[in-house]
Amino acid sequence: MTDTAPAGNRLLNLRLKRFFRYAAVGGATFLFDLSLLWILIEKFHVHYLHASVSGFLIAVSVNYSISRRWVFKGSQRRLAAGYLYFLKTAAAGAMATGFLMWLFCAATHGPYLLIRIIIAAVVGTGNYLIHLYLNFRVAGHEL
């Protein structure tokens, strides 16, 4: 039993390290997305819908690039296929976020920022697991 404990701890540490890397990249690119949104609207007078989609696509692309190299290193999935999968997952996450925001804001009349943060944690964790097991397929691999 003691022989497997260090291996189990090592695997847990690897999982936590990968998850926190993913959270750091996601948080940074989320702030980047918000910054792009503000710049496009306030400085370049782009319509908010166009600015929102443009900022989202640019931020997701940056997220993919960093995540592929730093979080999901060692993936055997081809670059273009992984990117397409990443975009599909991001689009599904965006739709889930919109629906959950509508549902919980209408149902609770709670503070929308707090609701958005909670939803981001739930959707972000789901996206992480999808990428870990289905897209990049690096669960249990070294970083």
Which ranges of 1-136 does DSSP label H, i.e. alpha helix? 4-38, 48-66, 79-108, 112-130
pTM value? Answer: 0.81
Residue 5's pLDDT is: 55
Residue 4's pLDDT is: 56
* 12-60 pLDDT tens trace: 898 899 999 999 999 999 999 989 989 999 999 998 888 888 998 999 9
* Domains of the chain by residue range: 4-135
Helix, strand, or coil (residue 123)? helix
* 80-127 pLDDT tens trace: 999 999 999 999 999 999 999 999 988 999 888 899 889 989 999 999
For residue 2, pLDDT over 70 is answered with no
Mean per-residue pLDDT for 67-78?
Answer: 94
